[in-house]
Structure 1
Amino acid sequence: MAELVISKLTETVLSHAIETISELVVQETGSLIGVKGRVKSLQTELRRMQCFLKDADRKQEQDERVRNWLAEVKDVAHEVEDVIEIFITKVSSSYVKVFHQFNLRNKINAIQAKINDIFKSAERYKIEFVTGDGTSSMAKLQQNLRRSCPDDDEDEEIIILEDSMEALKMQLTRMEDRLHIVSVVGMGGLGKTTLAKKVYNDVKQHFDCNAWVFVSQQYVACDILYEILVQIERETEREKLKNLNEHELVDRLKHDLKEKKYLVVLDDIWEIKAWDSIKKAFPNKNQGSKILFTTRNKEVALYADPLISPVELPFLTFNESWELLKRKAFQIDTFGKHGLSPEFEKLGKDMVKKCGGLPLAIVVLGGLLNTKNSIDEWKEVKRNVNAYLNKLQSGQLYEGVHGILALSYHDLPYYLKPCFLYLGCLLKDREIPRKTLIQLWIAEGFIQTPSKLDENETKLEDVAEQYLAELMDRCMVQASERNQLGFEGVKAYRMHDLMRNFCVCKARDENFFQIIQHDLDINMTGVGSPMHLSDATTIHSRRIALHVACDFERHNFPLPLRSLLCSDIDHFPVSSLRRKNFRLLRTLELGGISLKDKFKVLEEICKLIHLRYLGLRRTCISKLPNSVGNLQSLQTLDLRYNHVKLPRGISRLTRLMHLLTSAPLMLKYRGSPPRFDESQLRISGHMKLVSNVLMIRCDALFKLTNLQKLKILLRNKKEATTLLESPITKSSRLRYLDMKMEVYINDAAKDQEAAVFPSLMSLIPQCRFLHKLRLEGPIEEDLHDSSHHCFRSLPTSLTEVTLVCSHMNRHSMAVLEKLPNLRLLRLISDAYCDSEMVCSANGFPKLESLYLFKLRSLRGWRIEKDAMPSLKKLDLVKISQLKMIPEGLKFVTTLQSLDVTYMGPDFKHRLRVEGEDFYKVCHIPSILFSTPI
C-alpha cells in the first residue's frame, strides 16, 4: 500500500522544481545568457508532466509500471532542483560564469532526454494528459481560504468517561498527609493523556504550582527535571538551569517545592527505573501534593504508590463509541440541519461496532469519514477499512489501528502528505509550536497558494493555517495548547504516539526523512533491526532529524541534503557543513546546542546560500558574521535567547519574513548614537518582526510594509507621531501592534511630559486587519468631547486590546465598548483613572474576557443590564479602592469564571456563600480567590 502515495509526493516535488526554475529566471537573468531559453523550456516540460500525474494516480494501484513511472518523475524533479541550485551556488562564488553556463546547458540536455523517455513511457502505459486546476481537495481548500478561519472556540470533541474522570479528580483534590502518586493505566489509544489533560486543567488551580512533562521510553532524568523546573520557575532562569547537572537539578527542584502544594504530571512513563531516577526530587510533606502518572504498565503505577489504586481505563461501550464517531464523522453543515439519515447511521454503526471500543481507532475513522459526504463514499470507506476493523474486533488491536491509520493517510490530498510526514521529524513527546511548524513548512516549500486566489490577498501563512485545520479535522494531529479562551486558535500541537510511529515508518518507506536517534542506531519506529552508526552507513534521504550527536564524516550521503533538524544533542561538528552534499541545505535547526568554535560554525553556515530557515535559538552565540548577508533566500532567522550583535550584512536579507530575537526594538536616527549594541538594520519590505527589540533606522523600518507584527519602544510623542504617520501603520498586513513609551521602562528617561501617545486618528482607518493592539503609556485625549476621542478611529477588526498606564477616563470606555469584535480587554496599572467605570447596555457585544489590574482610582463600577452579553471570564486584581462587586454582574449570565486576587478580605467575604454580595455571583460556576506565591 506504500506505493499508492508516490504520485502525491511526486506532485509536491514537481511543484518545488518548477518554483525553483521560476526563481532562477527572475533572479539570475544576467547569469543565464545563452541558456535562459533552455531553462524556460525545461520549466514548460515539467508543467506538462504535472498534467499526467492525476491519471497516473488513478492507475498506479493496478499497474506496477505506472508506480515505477511515478518514481522516475519524482527523481527527475529532484534532479532539476539539484542542478539549478548547484548552478546558483557556483555562479555566486565564481567570476567564470561561462564555464558554469556550459555545464548547466549539458545537464539540462541530459535531463531533457530523460523527460522525453518519461513522456514516451506515459504513452505506452496509456497515461492520459489531464488538464484542470487541481483536485476537489484543492478546490475545497480555496473555499476554506475565502471564508473566515475555522472556529477554534469549542472544546476538544472527546468522550470522557465520567466515572474515570470523577475518580481521578477526587484522588487529586483530596487532602492527604503525604505525597500521593495517582496513576491512569491503559493500553495505547485508550485516551489516558486526553483524560489526564482534561482533569489537569480542571484541578490545577487548587495547587500552588504545576507542571506537565512527557517521559516516554527514551527518557533522560536530567531532561525531565529540567522541564519541570522550567515550568515552575521564571522563564529568565532557563539559561541558568541548562548548566546544572542531575544532582544540582534534584536539589533545586526539591528546594522549590518544599513549602508548596504541587501537581506534577508524568505522561507516558514506561519503566520503574524512570521513576526511581527522579523521585528523590519531590518532597514528601503534608501539603496535599500529588504526582499523576499515565502509563501502559500497571506494575509501574503500583510500584510508585502501592496504597493508591490506579484508575484503569475501560474500552468504550457501543453507545459511547457511536457517540464519539458521530462527533468526529458528521459535519454539522451537511447533516446537522436534517438529522442523520438511516443509511449513514447503519453504515456508521456497522463500522464502529468493530472498533473494539478503542477511542484512537474511532477518532481516526471519524476523521476519515469527516471528508466524505455521500453514501457511496461511505460504502467505499467501509469496503477499504473492513479487513482492519475485523482485526480490531478479533482483538488484534495494534494491527487494526495501523491499517486504519494507513487508510487515513492515503486519503489525504497530495498537498497535505508532505506536511503530515514532516511532523515525524520533530522530537517525540514534545509539543509542536504552531508558528514554528508553519515557518518550517514554508521553508521546505510544502505550502502552495491556490492559483485562483489573489496572491496579494492570500499569504502562505494563511494557507498553512488551513492545512493544519484540515489535519485536525482528519484527526491526524491534536491541539495540545490553545490561546486564552480558545478564540485565537491553537498554540501547539502533538501527535498520538501510535500516529507518530506510523508517520515515521511511512516517511522511512518513502525516503522522505531519516531519524538518527539512540547512541548506536538509526531507528525509524522503535521496532525492527537498527542500522549501527559504528559502521559506515549510507543515508538515502534528503532530510535528517538528528536526536543524538553523530560524526557525519563516517557516512555516505548520495543525495544532496535539504533539511537538518538537530535537537537534544551536546555538540555539532563544524566539519559536517563543509561536505559537498550539505551545500543545498534549505532548513537548518541547531536550537539548544552549545556550539564549539561558534564563529567558525557560523561562518560555514553563512556559505549555505540556499538556506530558508536558520534556527540558532539558545546556542549562546554573541555575534553573527557579516557574511550572514549571503543568505539571501533566508525567510526565518531565530536568534531568541542569545545576546547577539547584528552585523550590517543583515540588511541584505531581502526575503527575511521572521526575525526572532529577545532584544528591544527602538528607532535609530541618522547620526544618533545607538541605544543598544545592535548595528543599524536595513531590510526591505518582506520582513516580519516577532518579539524582537533592535536598533533600527527609521527609513529602513518604514519600508517594511509587509510587517504582520510590530513591537516597538518609543521615546516621546514626536517619535510616536512619526511612527503612526508612517506607511507601516497604513499597511493592510499589520495584525499586531505593541507600542511602549520609554519613560515607563526607564525611570531615568528625559522629557517625561512629552512621553505620551498622540491622537491615534492618523493610525488606523487603513489597518483594517489589525487584530491586537497593546499600548503602554498615557494617551492624549479630549477630556470634554468624546466624539473626538482618539479611540474612535480604532479599526473594527480589533479582537484584543491591552492598555497599560494609559490614564483613560469614562469617555475612553464609552468608545472602547462600541468595538464590535473585541473579545479580550486588559486594563493594567492605572490604564483607567476615573473613580467610576460604566459598562453600558449593549456595550462590549462580543467581549469574552475582561482583566482589570491595579486600577488605583477606581471606587465604583456600574454594569447596566444587557452589557457584556458574551462575557465568560472576569479577573479582578489589586483594585484596592473597589469595595464591592457591581450589582449588574448578576445580569451577565454567560460568565463562567471569576478570579479575585489581592482584593482585600472584605471584598472577598462579601462574595462568599454567606456574604451580602453572593446573590450577584451565585450563577457563576467557578469563583476563585487566588493569592499568587
Structure 2
Amino acid sequence: METLAPSPWKTTEASLVKAMDNLSNLLIFEQELLDGFEEDFRLIQRGLARMHLMAQNVIEEKGLEGYGEEVRFLTTQVEAVTDGFISRKQKSKQPSCSNCIKDSFPFFKGRAEIYKLIDDIEIIRASILRLISKGSELGMSLVKARTGTASQNLEQQKRPFSVDDIKEERAVGLEEGIHILVSRLTDGKGNRKVISITGARGVGKTTLAMEVYKSAAVTNHFPSRAWVTLSQDFELKETLQILAKQLWMGKEEGESSVEAEELSVEELSKDALKNGRHLIVLDNVRTLKQWDALQSLFPVESRILITTRDRAVALSTESDHSQRFIYHMRGLSDEEGWELFTAKLPPVPMELEELGRDIVKKCMGSPRAISAAAEILSSTPATLDHWSIVLEQIDKDQASTYHNLSLVADALPSPLKLCLSYCALFDKNYDISVRRLIVLWVAEGLIEKQNGSKKAAEDIAEKYLKQLENQGMIQVVKWKSNGKIKKCRMHHLLRDQWVSKAKKASLVQVPDEAACSCSSSSTGMIRRVADHLDKQDDSFRHIHGNRTTNNALRSYYGDLRSLLSFDFREGPEPGDDIGNFLRRGILGRFLLRLLIIDLEGVFRPKLPKGIGKLKELRYLGLRGTYLEMLPSSIGFLPELQTLDLKNTHISTLPNTIWKMQRLRHLYLSDRYRCRFVAPPSACSPIDLQTLWGAFLDEESPVEGGLNRLINLRKLGLVIRLTLSQQKSLAKWIARLIYLESLRLRSIDESVQPSTLFLRPLSNLKNLSSIYLMGRLNNPLVVQKLPENLTEITLSLSGLLDDPMPNLGKLPNLRVLELLADSFTGTLMVCSTGGFPLLRVLKLWKLQGLEVLVVQIGALAIVKDIEIRYCENLKMIPNGFLHLVHCRELKLKGMTEQFKARVIRYQGKDWYKIAHIPSVFVED
C-alpha cells in the first residue's frame, strides 16, 4: 500500500519538535558547555514551544504555506547552532590556551566566534518574535498542548516565550522612541523614507523595531509589512524571497510561495516590491554592501526601517536628508538602569541598595546585562553574600571583555584618544560633568579644528564625546532633557589601564589601583596632576607638605599643563595647601606653563596675588569653593577662556575682567548678585558663549554694552531694570540666534519677584531650555515658543489663560514645571495628543487651580508627576487612569479632603492611580 506523504504543515510541526528535542538534550546533558549562554537557549526553547502550541491549533492550512516555510527555515538555524556547540566540544579535547579569551568559553578559539554566536542567537530570537507576532495576525492562537513528549516536557519548564520575554530586556525608556518612530513612519508624506535605529550591541534596537512594527498605528497605516533579519552570510535572492512571501501573504491574488522560489531577483523586486505603501524592516544590517544591494529595490512610497550597529550604514541610506532619519539608542543612565533592575526583583532591602546600585553601574548601561544580573539575583536569597558574589562575577567577566575594549580604545584617532585619557584624571567613581569636561578639553587644546571650519571648538568636543559614547568608551550617568549627555564616567577597568600607560609616559600623576606607580621613577616631566589625597602619589607630598625644594619641584612640574584638585576636606587645610603650592609654583617659576587650574569643590582656596603671571592660563575653575574675593591680578590673564565662579560668595568683579579678550565662558553666583559690568566698546569678548548668574541693575547698560555679545549660547540673568531697559534687554535676547539655554529672574528693590518683559522667542531655533521667573506682561511669549524646547519652567508668571493648549503643541517638550502662580486660572486642560514626549510634569503652588483635565491621549508617555500645594484642586483627574507609563506620583501639601480621596484601596480616586508603582502623599 502506498504511504501518503505528510502535509507541509505536519512537516512544520515535526521540525519544531525535533528542534525542541535537540535543545532539551543540550540543556539537560551539556549544561557545562553552555556557561554564559544557558538563559539564551532557554528563551529560544520557550519560543519554539510557543510556536509549536500555535501550530497545533491550526485547522485550515490554506494560506499558511509561506509561514510554514519560514518556520522550517528557523528550525534549521536553531539546529545549526546546537550542532555547532556539540561539534566544538568534540574537537576541543585540548583547548588552545594561547588565545583563550575567557575561561568560561573554552570551546571558542577567539572573540570572533563568540560574537558570531551572539549574532546567531539574536537573529533566531528576533525571528521567533516576528513569527509569533505574524502567527497571531494570521489567526493562530495558543491552546493547551496535546499529548507529546517534547511539548509536555517544555510546558513543565518555565513559562512560555512571549513578546514580553524580549521586551523585558529594555523595559525602560522605549516609549519615547516608539512615539518618535511611529510618527515618522506614518507622517503621510509620499516620498520614500529610510529610518535607521543605531546603537551598541544589546541596547535594544531589535526590541524597539518590533514594538514599532506591531503598533496599531503602523499596522493600520501600511497595507502590507515585511520583516527580515539579515545574517552574516547575506544572500540577496534569499532575502527578497522572505520579503516577498510576507508581502504576498493574505492577498487573494499574487504569486505563491512556491513560485517565489523560482523567480529571479529582478522578478521578485518587480512583483513583490512594486509600487505600494509597504513597511519593510531590515533588522541587523551589518555592512554598506548589504544596504547597497537592497536599497534600490524599494518603491517610492515605501518606508524602510533598519537596525544597525554601524552608523556609517545609517548615514548612507539617503542622500536627501529630508528622506533620512536616524534614531540613536543610548544606554541606560544609572537611574534608568536602577529602575529596570528593581522592576525585575522583589523590593530591594535597604541594606542591599548600595550594592545593587554598584551592580547596575558595572553593567555600563546595557539593558541586557542589567536584566541578566537581576534574573540571577531573583533566584537567590537577598543577602549581602549572594549579591557580593554576583558583583565579583561581573568584575571577573568584564576583565577580559574590557581588555578587548582597550584594544578598540588604542585604535581611536589621536584627538579622541587624548580626550579619553583626560577622563582618567577623575576618580573611577566620580560622575564627570560634561559641561566641565568639554571646556577642559578645549582649554588643553585637545580639539582639532579643520581648516576653514566655522564650528566652535565646543561643538567638535561634543561630537568627540558622542563618538566615545557610541564606541562604549564612556558610560552615561545622566542625560539632559534635550538628549545630550549631562554626566558620564570612564569604565574603571579601562581607566586603570590608561592611567598606567599615561604614568609610564609621564603624562599624569593620579592614583591608580591597578598599577600603583609613583612619578619619582619617571624620566620626564609630568603634564597633568590630579590630587586625590593619595599618600602614595608624589604630588601628595608636594602639595600637602613643604619639604621639597623648588629645584626638585621644577624637575617634576616644569612642563605641567593641568592641575586638578579633589581635596574635599572640610576646614581651612585644603585652601591653604593648594594656595601655598600655587604661590611656590609662581614664585619658583615652575608652574608658569599651566593651562588649567581646576579647584571645583575645594573649600576657599587661597589664590596667590601673583596669579596674573600665569599668562598661558585658559581655565580657572572655582565653582563651589565659597571663595569671597578674587585677586585683582585676575584680569591680567590674556588667554583665559573659562572663569567659573558659580556657587561662590563673590559679589564684585574687578574692572579688568574685560581685558580677557579670549573669554568664552563666564559663570557667576546669582545668589550673591554679582553685578555685571558691561564691557567697553573696544574690549567686547566676541567669542563669549556663556554668561550665567550675572546681576543687572539700572547701572548696567544694555544698549551699547551687553547687546554687543551676540554669540551667547547660555544666558542666565537676575535683573532689576526699568521697563525701558527691559525692552532693550528683550530686543537683544530676541537676536541671540545661537542661544540654547535661557534663565531670567526679575526682582524689585525688595528682592521680590517683579514684572518680566520679553518679546516672543519663536525665532530662537536652538533654544532648548527656558526658566522664567516674574510676571509676564506679554502673553505671546508663552503662545509663541520655539519648537525645539525640551524643558520649560515658569514661576510667578501670573498667566490668566490656560497655557496647556499652547505648551501641549511643543513636539519636543520633555520637562514642564509650572510653579508659584505661574497660572492663576481655575481650569487647566491637557488635550488629546498634547505633550507627546513629556516625561516630567510639576504643578506647584497654583493657588487658583480647581480642576485639572487630562483627556485620553494626552501626556501619553509621562513618567513622573508632582503636584504640591495646589490647595483648591478638587480631585485626581479621570485621565490619570490612562497614564500607563507613569512611574511616580508625588502629592504634597494638599487639603485633607483631597488626601482622603487618594487613600490606598479606599479613597474615591485611588482606582485612577492604583497602576502607578510609586505614589507618595506628604503633608
The Cα of 1:835 is off from its aligned counterpart by 1.1
CA distance in 1, matches of 2:592, 2:667: 24
Contact 1:708–1:733 (Cα < 8 Å) also in 2: yes
Residues 160 and 195 of structure 1 are in contact (CA less than 8 Å); yes or no, is this contact kept in structure 2? no
**Counterpart amino acid of 2:737?**
S
Deviation of 1:447 (Å): 1.7
8 Å contact kept, 1:875–1:898: yes
Aligned to 2:767: 770
Alignment of 1:834-853 (within 5 A): 834-853=825-844
Q: Which residue of 2 aligns with 1:329?
A: none
- Map of 1:546 onto structure 2: 531
Q: Offset of 1:578 from its aligned partner? A: 3.1
User: How do residues 174-185 of structure 1 correspond to structure 2 at under 5 angstroms?
Assistant: 184=355
Pairing 1:403-552 to 2, within 5 Å after superposition = 403-450=403-450, 454-455=453-454, 458-483=455-480, 488-515=483-510, 524-525=512-513, 527=515, 530=518, 539-547=524-532, 548-550=540-542, 551=548
Report what 1:879 is aligned to: 870
**8 A contact 1:138–1:450 mirrored in 2:** no
Following superposition, the deviation at residue 544 of structure 1 comes to 2.5
> Residues of 1 paired with 2:594 and 2:484: CA distance?
32
Q: Contact 1:183/1:310 (CA < 8 Å) preserved in 2?
A: no
Describe the shift of the 1:448–1:877 C-alpha distance in structure 2 as closer, same or farther (beyond 3 A): same
The SS at the match of 2:415 is coil
1:648 corresponds in structure 2 to: 655
Checking the alignment, whether the CA contact within 8 Å between 2:482 and 2:790 is kept in structure 1 is no
In structure 1, what is the Cα distance between the partners aligned to 2:727 and 2:396?
58
Matched, 1:171 2:170: no
Give yes or no for the alignment of 1:627 onto 2:633. Answer: yes
Render the CA deviation track for 1:246-269: whole Å, top value 9, x for unaligned: xxxxxxxxxxxxxxxxxxxxxxxx
Change (3 A) 1:832 1:448: same
CA contact (8 A) 1:183 1:311 kept: no
- The percentage of counterpart residues that share the same residue type is 28
Separation in structure 1 between the aligned mates of residue 326 and residue 445 of structure 2, nearest angstrom: 24
- CA shift for structure 1 position 773: 1.5
**Pairwise CA distance, 1:435:** 0.9
Query: Is the CA contact 2:623–2:646 (under 8 Å) kept in the aligned structure 1?
Result: yes
What letter corresponds to residue 584 of structure 1 in structure 2? R
Q: In 1, are the aligned partners of 2:691 and 2:712 still within 8 Å (CA)?
A: no
* C-alpha contact (below 8 Å) 1:167/1:311 kept by paired residues: no
The residue number in structure 2 matching 1:927 is 919
Give how far 1:360 is off.
5.5
Aligned-pair CA distance for 1:834: 0.8
Is residue 2:695 matched to residue 1:685? no
Partner of 2:14: none
Report the Cα distance in structure 1 between the residues aligned to 2:860 and 2:839, rounded to whole angstroms: 9
1:495 Cα deviation after fit? 3.1
What is the CA-CA distance between 1:531 and the residue it aligns to? 5.5
Residue 740 of structure 1 aligns to a residue whose secondary structure is: strand
Letter in 1 for 2:661: T
Q: Does 1:721 align with 2:727?
A: yes
Work out the CA distance in 2 between the residues paired with 1:473 and 1:480.
14
For each residue in 1:811-858, what CA deviation from the matched residue of structure 2 results, as whole angstroms up to 9, or x when unmatched?
Answer: 533322222222211111111111111222222233222110011111
The answer to whether the Cα contact below 8 Å between 1:864 and 1:888 also exists between their aligned partners in 2 is yes
Change (3 A) 1:494 1:463: same
Mark the CA change 1:138 to 1:898 in structure 2 (over 3 Å): closer, same or farther. Answer: closer
**Candidates 773, 792, 805, aligned match of 2:796:** 805
After the TM superposition, which residues 618-767 of structure 1 pair with which residues of structure 2 at under 5 Å, given as runs?
618-619=624-625, 621-644=627-650, 645-663=652-670, 681-682=679-680, 683-695=684-696, 696-698=700-702, 699-715=704-720, 716-726=722-732, 728-743=733-748, 747=750, 755-758=754-757, 760=758, 762-767=759-764
Q: Does the 8 A contact of 2:334 with 2:361 survive in 1?
A: no
Match of 1:586 in 2: 595
Q: What one-letter code is carried by the residue in structure 2 that aligns with 1:440? A: L
CA distance in 1, matches of 2:342, 2:313: 40
Partner of residue 278, structure 1: none
Q: How does 1:30-429 map to 2 (within 5 A)?
A: 150=328, 152=330, 154=332, 169-172=347-350, 184=355, 191=359, 193-194=361-362, 309-314=384-389, 359=394, 400=400, 403-429=403-429
TM-superposed deviation, 1:196: 13
Gaps of 5+ in 1: 1-136, 173-179, 203-306, 317-356, 364-397, 518-523, 667-675, 783-788
Q: 1:884: how far off?
A: 0.5
Shift in alpha-carbon separation, 1:920–1:595, aligned structure 2, 3 A: closer
TM-score of the two chains, using structure 1 as the length reference: 0.54
CA distance in 2, matches of 1:449, 1:151: 28
AA matched with 1:913: Y
**Contact 1:141–1:466, Cα closer than 8 Å, also in 2:** no
How many residues align structurally? 562
Counterpart AA for 2:386: V
Shift of 1:733: 1.2
| CA apart distance, 1:362 | 6.3
The 8 Å contact of residues 881 and 912 in structure 2, kept in 1 or not, is answered as yes
Indicate how the Cα distance of structure 1 residues 309 and 747 shifts in structure 2: closer, same or farther if over 3 A, else same. same
Distance 1:159 1:586, change over 3 A: closer
CA–CA distance in structure 2, aligned partners of residues 461 and 142 of structure 1: 23
Quote the offset at 1:539 in angstroms: 4.7
Q: Equivalent residue of 2:865, what SS?
A: strand
* Change beyond 3 A, Cα 1:506–1:714: same
Supply the AA of the counterpart residue of 1:577. I
CA drift of 1:161 comes to 13
Per-residue CA shift, 1:120-146, capped at 9, x if unaligned?
Answer: xxxxxxxxxxxxxxxxx99999999x9
1:488/1:184 Cα in 2 relative to 1: closer, same or farther (>3 Å)?
same
Q: Are the structure 2 counterparts of residues 508 and 161 from structure 1 closer, same or farther at C-alpha, using a change threshold of 3 Å?
A: same
Offset of residue 769 of structure 1: 0.7
Q: Kindly provide the CA deviation profile for residues 294-314 of structure 1, in whole angstroms up to 9, marking residues without a partner as x.
A: xxxxxxxxxxxxx96533355
**Deviation string for 1:714-738 (max 9, x for gaps)?**
3343332211112x43122111111
Equivalent position amino acid for 2:613 in 1: K
1:859 deviation in Å? Answer: 0.9
Match 1:794 to one of 785, 798, 804? 785
- CA pair 417-872 structure 1, distance change in 2 beyond 3 A: same
Encode CA deviations 1:431-477: one digit per residue, 9 max, x unaligned: 2111111110111111224558x51xx33223222322222233322
Indicate the structure (1 or 2) with the bigger Cα radius of gyration. Answer: 2
- AA aligned opposite 2:687: H
Name the CA distance, whole Å, in 2 between partners of 1:185 and 1:928: 23
RMSD: 4.1
Q: Secondary structure at the match of 1:867?
A: coil
Does the 8 Å contact 2:623/2:648 carry over to 1?
yes
CA 1:168/1:575 → structure 2, altered by over 3 Å: closer, same or farther? farther
Report the 3-state secondary structure (helix = DSSP H, G, I; strand = E; otherwise coil) of the residue aligned with 2:756.
Answer: coil
**Partner SS state of residue 632, structure 1:** coil
Cα distance, 1:618–1:849 mapped onto 2, change above 3 Å: closer
1:618 Cα deviation (Å)?
Answer: 4.8
Deviations 1:852-902 (A, max 9, x none): 001111111222222222322211111111120112222333333222222
SS in 2 for 1:775: strand
> How far apart, CA to CA, are the structure 1 residues paired with 2:836 and 2:653?
46
SS of residue paired to 2:853: strand
Range moving further from structure 2, 425-434 or 855-864: 425-434
Shift in Å, 1:690: 5.0
